[in-house]
Amino acid sequence: MGKLANIKNMAKRLAGLGTRRRARKIRSGFNFAISDSLAALSGEAWDGVTRDGDVWMRREYLSVLENHPPENIKLVFALVMRGREPVAAVAAQIAIITGERVNAKAIRKRKSKVIICGNLLSWGPHGVAFKRGEDPAELWKGVGELLYRIRRAERLAGQPAIQIIKDVPMSNSEDLASIRALSYKRVETDPDMVLEIRPAWKKYDDYLASLNSKYRRSVRDIIKDTDDAGFRIERVRDAAAHADVIHNLYLQIHEQAAVRPVTIVKNYIPALAEAFGADFRCTIIRNDRQIAGFITTLRSGDTAIGYYVGVDREINNRVPIYHRLLHITIADAIEMGCGRLSLGRTALEAKARLGARPEPLCVWARHRVGPLNALIGPLLGAIPHGVAPERNPFK
C-alpha cells in the first residue's frame, strides 16, 4: 500500500507540473502599458486605479522614489488593462542583491538579479493596486503575465533569476491561486507589527492611561531617563537642513540589520517631507550639543506608518533613545486621527511591548529555471525572520 500511495502522489505531482507548464503558456487576456518612468504613463489612468489604495502606489510617493532611488534598483511601472480600460497598476523594482544584504550564507558571495513586485523601501503589499470593484483573483492572472513580460524584456541587460511578489497578507493568499498555478512558491516572512488606535485615545496621555501599571511605569522611566540625560523632542520643520545628520543616524541602524536589501539615499527623507507636507512628520531627539536620533511618520489613509528611524548607537547604549522614539510615533498616529499604527517588522519585542500585534505576511517567488524553482522555498526560508512575542500591556 505504501508503494501504491507513493506512485499516486508522484502521478499527482507530475500532473500538477504539466498543468502549471500549460498555464505559463496561456495568455491572460489582458493588455499592458509598461514604462521605465511613471511620467510616460497616463497620470489620469494611474490615479483612477490607485486613488482608493494606500500611499505607496500613488504618484506623489512613486515620483519621490523615482527621483531618489537606492543605487541598486531600477523601477518599472505598468498598467494592466481589459481592452483599453486600466484595471490594475503595478510598481515593480529590478534589484541587484547580494547574500550579504539578506544574510543568506548560501549565496553570500553571489549577486542575484531579482524582479520585485512590491517596494523594498517599505513593508506590505505595495506593488499592485486594483481598481475598485474588480476581482483580485482574476487580475492576478494579468499581474503574473506582466512579470513574465518584464523578465523577458530585461534579458538584454542580464536576465533576472527570481521573481518575487512581496509582502502579501497571509489572509489574502487565496486570491493568488493563479499565481500558484504559475509555479510561484509561498514563503512566510516577518510580520508587520500593528497597534490599533482606540477611539478613546484623543491624546498620547490617554494611551498611557490605558496601560497596566507595569508597562506604564516602564514608559515613564524611559521618558524620565531621556529627560534627565538632557535630551528633548523637536519636530523638524526643514528636513533638508538636517539631511546629513539624519542619514548618518539612519546608517547606524541600517548597517546593523541582518536583512537590508536596499539603502536609502540622503535626499530621500527630505523629498518625502516636501511631497507630503502635514502627512509626513520627522521628529528628532537632541541635547544642546547633538542630535541623538530621529523617527519619521507617514500617513496613508487611516494608517500611520512608523517609517525610517535612526539613532546614535553609542548614546543609545546609555540612554533609551530608540524606545523614546517609538512612543513618538504613537503620539503622531493619535494626533493624525489614524485608526492604526504600522510599525514594521524589526524590533518585534519592543513593539509588542507597545501593544502592537503581528499581522502575518508572506512572499510568493519563483525561479526562472524549473529545476531550481523547487529550491526557491528553502532558499528564501533561510533568510532570517523573527517570531513576535505575545504581550498585552493594557489593563
Residue 98 cell numbers, joined: 547580494
pLDDT exceeds cutoff 50 at 17:
no
Nearest Cα to 107, choosing from 166, 158, 162?
162
Q: Are 163 and 152 in contact (CB under 8 A)?
A: no
* Best-predicted range by mean pLDDT (12-21, 94-103, 199-208): 199-208
Nearest to 129 by CA among 42, 43, 39, 55: 55
Contacts of 68 (CB under 8 A, 6+ apart): 264, 265, 267, 268, 271
> For residues 188 and 223, which has the higher predicted lDDT (pLDDT)?
223
CA 348/CA 258 separation, integer angstroms: 14
Quick: pLDDT tens for 150-174: 999 998 878 788 899 999 998 887 8
Residue indicated by cell numbers 510580520: 191
Cα–Cα dist 286/25, whole Å:
59
Q: What angle do CA 129, 352, 379 make, to 5 degrees?
A: 60
Q: Residue 166's closest CA among 364, 298, 382, 383?
A: 364
Q: What are the E-state strand segments in 131-279?
A: 162-169, 185-196, 232-235
Rounded Cα distance, 174 and 67, in Å: 35
Q: Which domains can be identified in the chain, with CATH numbers?
A: 2-190+361-381 (3.40.630.30), 198-338 (3.40.630.30)
Q: 287 near 232, Cβ under 8 Å? A: yes
Q: Determine the distance from the C-alpha atom of residue 57 to the mean position of all C-alpha atoms in its chain, rounded to a whole number.
A: 12
Residue 270 has pLDDT above 80, yes or no: yes
Q: Please give the pLDDT value at position 340.
A: 98
**What's the whole-number average pLDDT of the chain?**
90
CB 172, CB 139: distance < 8 Å: no
> Can you tell me the mean pLDDT for 205-217?
98
**pTM for the predicted model, two decimal places:** 0.89
User: Which of 89-98, 99-108, 326-335 is predicted with the least confidence, judged by mean pLDDT?
Assistant: 99-108
- Based on its alpha-carbon atoms, the radius of gyration of the chain, rounded to whole angstroms, reads 22
By three-state DSSP, how is residue 116 classified?
Answer: strand
Contact 380, 195 (CB under 8 A): no
Mean pLDDT of the region 311-330: 98
Q: What band does 3 get if pLDDT is binned at 50, 70 and 90?
A: low
**Cell numbers linked to 365:** 517567488
Q: Which three cell numbers stand for residue 308?
A: 525610517
Q: If DSSP states are collapsed to H, E and C, what string results for 308-365?
A: EEEECHHHHCCCCHHHHHHHHHHHHHHHCCCCEEECCCCCHHHHHHCCCEEEEEEEEE
- Residue among 6, 380, 377 nearest 183 (CA): 377
State whether residue 94 is helix, strand or coil.
strand
pLDDT digit string, tens, across residues 241-252: 999 999 999 999
Of these ranges, 41-45, 171-175, 255-259, the one predicted with the greatest mean pLDDT is: 41-45
